[in-house]
Amino acid sequence: MKWVLVCVITVATVALVAIAWFQSGGLQQHTMFSAVTPEEAVQALMTEIQAHDYEKAYASLDRTSDTDLASFVRDIAGSDSSLRTYSSLQSADVSPLHADQDQALVRVRMTWSSAVGSLDDVRDLRVHRDGSVWRVVWPKPAFATVPPQVVAVNYLSWDVIGRNTSQNWGAQDVESPKVRITSMNAISRPGRVVVLGEIENEDTVPAYVNVNATLLKADGNPIEEEGSFDLISHILLPKQVSPYRIDFPDVRIDAVKSVRMDARALLVPASADPVIAVEGQTLGKDALNRNVLKGELINESGRPVNIAQVLAAYYDTSGKVIWVSDGYVDQALMPQVPLPFAVDIPDDVAARIKTYRVIVNHYSRASS
Amino acid sequence: MKASTPCYSLCKDGTRLAWSCLLAICVLAAQANAADLRVPAIVDADRAFSISLDGAGEATFYLIGPDHVVKRTVTLGGALQIQSSDVRAVGRYQVIVCGSSCSSATFDVRATQPAHISFFLHPSRVPVSTPGSIDATAFVFDQNFNLVLIPSTVAFQVHPTNGTSFTRQGSTRLGVTWIRMDSTTKEGRVQVTAALRNVQEARVIQQVASEACGLHIKALPNGDSVTLETDPVRDCSGNALPDGTVVSFTKVDHAGKSTVDTPIKKGIARVRLSVHGSAQISVACGVVLGNEVTVNGKL
């Protein structure tokens, strides 16, 4: 009986230690140090990145990697208050592309979680054999720089002086901007109804706009009300047009008789700077064979744009908006430096696209 | 006429009547004695006057107006002075005097001479050449901000920066009058003043350029890039669209499509784009499309 108790306690202790080891990432660490296959080497590297242990991750790289620790960290963790600096690696899917005796090519799809949703970063990494283990060759990140210069910025900006609340009834105030929904289209998507279209600021002052839609039943009662949230450019300069998209999850289109639209605009201070050009826009496939609209953003101003969001509206042959998609760029837009972007397009929509239009939302920490 | 049912005796009955019910009975009782009070039928707001009280001894005086109630002890048999501050708001007032019995009377207080104008000019910005787009509404008040219901004539004096001044008149009806105007063809500030005797209220409206008209770009190739520049962007009346208005340039070439939303600066929108081979370039401002140009030898 005495020995039975000893055995039980011993087994329980070993089990608890094993659980703790698993939970503290011991298995992953073991995998990293073993790294007996190229995939394991990449997976181990991703584990270190996930743990924000960049020094260890850097130490595990192949010696032929042409990068220093600072560049590696900047490449992985982001800089300049970009969206990547507010993100963390959620998961990494590793798939081998090619392998021979001493080197291999492995594709890793990193999924970063951020405040605006998950962001994918797909990279093809070379992996070298180093004795009994495999090590990742991290390519030297190409951080484009522009020569020191002075950029004159003299675009218009608007300030607003509102009505003094102590003034009498009837005292004059500045009018809210006039905005107009120029198109609206309600479509059925798998598991949801989507209302999309475009809105224009018709006024001569900037507007902060929001579009809400209410789906109505045949008897006129509302089914659901939703807003465009971040699928719109909220700040619209005079005559600027923004696409919008409003999703109604778990609603069927046949239950909807009509849609009530509500566009609201507020007069806000704004600046016409920065101007962001969207160059080289093409429809194509990405590395994961998904339909995407890709191109490059160029910040034509003299200061960084910390977070940029690309909004794209797609039109069919009749000029109707058939889809609106968006994508965040997880790097900061440095002045004059092109930065690639890609936004997803559903397969069935891609086949019907005649033309498209892209605009860029931006957030700069200094001028927020 | 004496009150047949004095309030006092009702209250003393010991029955727990609600206060409002008691007041109502008192008022009903008092109304039967209206002849005991001599009050003017109509008085001007904010003007003192007197009420003649018959009888002898002391009584409680109530003045119930639209915005306040006065209660004080008075001596019967003389004139009771009503302070100007007690009749500042227009409306129907009720006087109740309760001595051994209650008496009541009513009188109306009316607004005095116009002293204030509340003036609404809507909107504060309006595109040029828009019919019926400007509303000017004036409410006429006396010095205590009572609405003056007696008809009076308000003059709306319109002073455009670019154009001839003119005046239109409107007669108030129930204290309010309004006019509707078209915006003129020239942009700029328009001052509208509502005037009544020596009372004036001024508001300013900004007439702004309308939609772009005849939007036109020219392309200046320079190596592998092209500088695109609009002609001065104007509306159909020739007014320049304000700086900051967004003009969208779109270029399609072998490298794909490029778009730049650039604001007008000093009346002109300008952008530089790189070009790969032949390129089609178009321009738009809001929902207005401009011309298209082809660069690389076919300009």
Of the candidates A175, A200, A357, which has its C-beta nearest B125's C-beta?
A175
Of the candidates B208, B260, B261, which has its C-beta nearest A240's C-beta?
B261
Taking only residues 177 to 216 of chain A, the set having a beta carbon closer than 8 angstroms to any beta carbon of chain B reads: 182, 200, 202-206
A227 and A290 in a single domain? The answer is no
In chain B, the residue whose alpha carbon lies closest to the alpha carbon of A274 is B262
Q: How far apart are CA A174 and CA A268, in angstroms?
A: 11
A280 and A262 in a single domain? The answer is no
A177 and A257 in a single domain? The answer is yes
Q: How far apart are CA A312 and CA A233, in angstroms?
A: 11
A76 and A121 in a single domain? The answer is yes
With a cut of 70, say whether residue B18 has pLDDT above it: no
Residue A15 lies in a domain: no
pLDDT in tens, chain A (368 residues): 677 888 888 888 888 887 876 676 655 555 555 678 899 999 999 999 999 999 999 999 988 888 899 999 999 999 989 999 999 999 999 999 988 888 999 999 999 999 888 998 999 999 999 888 899 999 988 887 778 888 887 778 899 887 776 666 767 778 899 999 999 999 999 999 999 999 999 999 999 999 999 999 999 999 999 999 899 999 999 999 999 999 999 999 999 999 999 999 999 999 988 999 999 999 999 888 899 999 999 998 888 899 999 999 999 999 999 999 999 999 999 998 999 999 999 999 999 999 999 999 998 876 54
- Give the DSSP letter of residue B175: T
State the residue for tokens 């465009």: A228
B211: closest CA among B124, B123, B128?
B128
Chain B hits for A239, Cβ within 8 Å: 212, 241, 245-247, 285-286
Write the Ramachandran bin of B228: left for phi over 0, alpha for psi from -120 to 50, otherwise beta.
beta
CB pairs under 8 A between A and B: 108
State the residue for tokens 């009070």: B37
Q: To the nearest whole angstrom, how far is the Cα of B12 from the nearest Cα of chain A?
A: 49
Give CATH 2.60.40.10 domain extents, chain B: 7-110, 217-295
Cβ–Cβ of A154/B265 closer than 8 Å?
yes
Residue A150 lies in a domain: no
Q: To the nearest whole angstrom, how far is the Cα of B94 from the nearest Cα of chain A?
A: 30
Q: Which residues on chain B place their C-beta less than 8 Å from a C-beta of chain A?
A: 118-125, 139, 201, 203-204, 208-209, 212, 241-248, 250, 255-263, 265, 271, 273-274, 285-287
Residue B50 corresponds to which tokens in the numbers above? 């007197």
Report the side by side order of strands in the sheet with A321-329.
Answer: A321-329, A307-315, A355-363
Q: Other C-beta atoms within 10 Å of A287: how many? A: 13
Cβ-based burial of B152 (10 A; exposed 0-12, middle 13-18, buried ≥19): middle
Backbone angles phi, psi at A118, to 5 degrees: -90, 145
A25 and A127 in a single domain? The answer is yes
Chain A hits for B234, Cβ within 8 Å: none
A295: closest CA among A308, A237, A351?
A308
A257 and A302 in a single domain? The answer is no
Question: What pLDDT is attached to residue B224?
Answer: 80
Q: CB contact, 8 Å: A258 with chain B?
A: no
Contact assessment for residue A237 and residue B248, using Cβ atoms and an 8 Å cutoff = no
- The structural architecture, per CATH, of the domain B7-110 is Sandwich (2.60)
A109: closest CA among A232, A236, A288, A270?
A288
CATH superfamily of the domain spanning B217-295: Immunoglobulins (2.60.40.10)
Q: How far apart are CA A241 and CA A346, in angstroms?
A: 23
Residue A337 lies in a domain: yes
Question: What pLDDT is attached to residue A10?
Answer: 87
B134: closest CA among B190, B209, B196?
B190
Cβ–Cβ of A155/B265 closer than 8 Å?
yes
Q: To the nearest whole angstrom, how far is the Cα of B191 from the nearest Cα of chain A?
A: 12
Q: Give the tens place of pLDDT for each residue, B136-166.
A: 999 999 999 999 999 999 999 999 988 889 9
The CATH number for A296's domain is 2.60.40.10
A363 and A297 in a single domain? The answer is yes
- How far does Cα B188 stand from its chain's mean position? 22
A191 and A261 in a single domain? The answer is yes
Cβ–Cβ of B265/A156 closer than 8 Å?
yes
CATH superfamily of the domain spanning B116-208: Macroglobulin (MG2) domain (2.60.40.1930)
A280 and A244 in a single domain? The answer is no
How far, CA to CA in Å, does B90 sit from each of A68, A168, A326, B152, B171?
Answer: 84, 20, 61, 18, 21
Buried b (16+ CB within 10 A) or exposed e, B180-198: ebebbbbbeebebbbbbee
Chain A hits for B292, Cβ within 8 Å: none
Contact assessment for residue B37 and residue B53, using Cβ atoms and an 8 Å cutoff = yes
Instruction: Using a cut of 0.80, tell me whether the model's pTM lies above it.
Output: no
In chain B, the residue whose alpha carbon lies closest to the alpha carbon of A200 is B286
Q: Please give the residue range of the domain that contains residue A205.
A: 160-164+173-268
In chain B, the residue whose alpha carbon lies closest to the alpha carbon of A181 is B287
- How far does Cα B135 stand from its chain's mean position? 10
Q: To the nearest whole angstrom, how far is the Cα of A296 from the nearest Cα of chain B?
A: 9
A125 and A183 in a single domain? The answer is no
Give CATH 2.60.40.1930 domain extents, chain B: 116-208
Q: To the nearest whole angstrom, how far is the Cα of B200 from the nearest Cα of chain A?
A: 13
Question: What pLDDT is attached to residue B34?
Answer: 40
A75: closest CA among A135, A137, A120, A140?
A140
Q: To the nearest whole angstrom, how far is the Cα of A160 from the nearest Cα of chain B?
A: 13
Contact assessment for residue A200 and residue A209, using Cβ atoms and an 8 Å cutoff = no
Local structure of A61: helix, strand or coil: coil
The CATH number for A77's domain is 3.10.450.50
Residue A75 lies in a domain: yes
Chain B hits for A284, Cβ within 8 Å: none
